[in-house]
Amino acid sequence: MHEKSWSIKGGKVLGPAPFFIAGIVNVTPDSFHDGGRWFDARAAVAHGRELAAQGAHILDVGGESTRPGAAEVSEDEELRRVLPVIAELATLPRAALPDCSGEYPVLSVDTFKARVAAESLAAGAGIVNDISACRFDEALADVLAQEKPGYVLMHSQGRPRVMQKAPAYDDVVEEVLAFFEERLQYLCGRGLPEDRIVLDPGIGFGKTLEHNLRLLREIKRFESLGRPVYMGLSNKSLFQGLLGLEPGRRGTATQVATAILAAKGVAVHRVHDVAETVRTLRLAAAMA
């Protein structure tokens, strides 16, 4: 594995490291995986602390489900959910992690709303994880230009409510590459430094099983854009479509896929099970 680095808010640099793990902290009542287990702010903070202790480099806090068919929540409600959690997790002591320079965890907010991003960054987040690529709320680009956080630029075809209705592409890899090229040019032109940006192909976001598999098979194509790849694959429904695995039985498949993707150069892995992923990626790095 080649070591990668990622600059975030304040010019802090994550890495260099062979991999980064983003632990998922869902402060939602309707997550596809945990079903609202950490909807209460105290439970979410405790979960974030546990993921940090397990070795998460990043804690990705989200207050709105983006599963297929999910309804949007109001700005005020999303802020009510995420701000107390981010503010409390921001007080966690930072520590060095094996095989990675810097101190962790750093905080990420999973949102496409400008105000939620701005207030979360003020509360202690250093990264914005945005499924919309600044297309749902164009004011988000102004926040990114002003604050210059780390930014996850993700591809999706449509909003979560409708994205899986009838996804279609002539060539999914070429179209996602072209999308990233256009969005990188747009964001850098607006004032977000390129070293803040990582690329997420958006597995399951407006894609069929075959679209997802083709992106995963050809993930190294995205290296041509010069930015690290961020992967959100953990426990997703493609494992049901391909292997017949119901929710709750996708952990082993997630770990196998994560190891393969790390060997293909994926830098950041957004996962539910941090402890198991730490073991998977340390083993993959040792055998590379």
SS3 labels along 57-91: CEEEEECCCCCCCCCCCCHHHHHHHHHHHHHHHCC
**Could you tell me if 25 and 33 are in contact, meaning their C-beta atoms sit under 8 angstroms apart?**
no
Cα 283 to Cα 79, 86, 234, distances in angstroms: 38, 31, 18
Kindly state the helix (H) or strand (E) to which residue 240 belongs, with its residue range: helix 238-243
- H or E element that contains 150: strand 150-154
Reduced DSSP (H G I as helix, E B as strand, rest coil) percent helix, strand, coil of the chain, to 5:
40, 20, 40
Return the number of other C-beta atoms located less than 10 Å from residue 56's C-beta. Answer: 26
Taking CA atoms, 277 is separated from 3, 23, 110, in Å, by 17, 10, 20
Q: What averages of pLDDT result for each successive group of 10 residues across the chain (288 residues)?
A: 93 95 90 62 94 97 83 92 97 91 95 98 98 96 98 90 80 98 98 98 95 98 97 95 93 97 97 97 93
CATH superfamily of 4-287: Dihydropteroate synthase-like (3.20.20.20)
Q: How far apart are CA 37 and CA 43, in angstroms?
A: 8
Give the per-residue pLDDT at 163.
64
Catalytic residue, candidates 4, 9, 236, 250: 236
Question: Comparing C-alpha atoms, which of 277, 235, 258 is closest to residue 54?
Answer: 277
Q: Identify the pLDDT of residue 98.
A: 86
264 noted as active-site residue = no
- The per-residue pLDDT for 135 is 95
Asked whether 56 and 127 are in contact (CB, 8 A), the reply is no
pLDDT at 146: 98
Those residues with Cβ within 8 angstroms of residue 252's Cβ, 6 or more apart along the chain or in another chain: none
pLDDT of residue 115: 98
Residue 37 is encoded by which pair of tokens?
A: 């287990």
Tell me, what's the pLDDT at 68?
Answer: 73
**Residue 236: active-site member:** yes
Region of 118 (left: φ > 0; alpha: ψ -120 to 50; beta: rest) is: alpha
pLDDT reported for residue 53: 96
Whether the CA torsion 27, 144, 160, 230 is positive or negative: it is negative
Look at residue 130 in the predicted model and tell me its pLDDT. 97
d(CA 60, CA 45): 12
Helices 139-147 and 114-123, interaxial angle, to 10°? 20
> How distant, in Å, are the alpha carbons of 30, 78, 110, 216 from that of 46?
19, 19, 18, 33
Q: Note the pLDDT of residue 168.
A: 87
Give the pLDDT score at 36.
57
Catalytic residue among 81, 148, 183, 270: 270
- For residue 92, the model assigns a pLDDT of 95
The token pair that represents 285 in the structure block: 């790095």
What pLDDT score was predicted for residue 280? 98
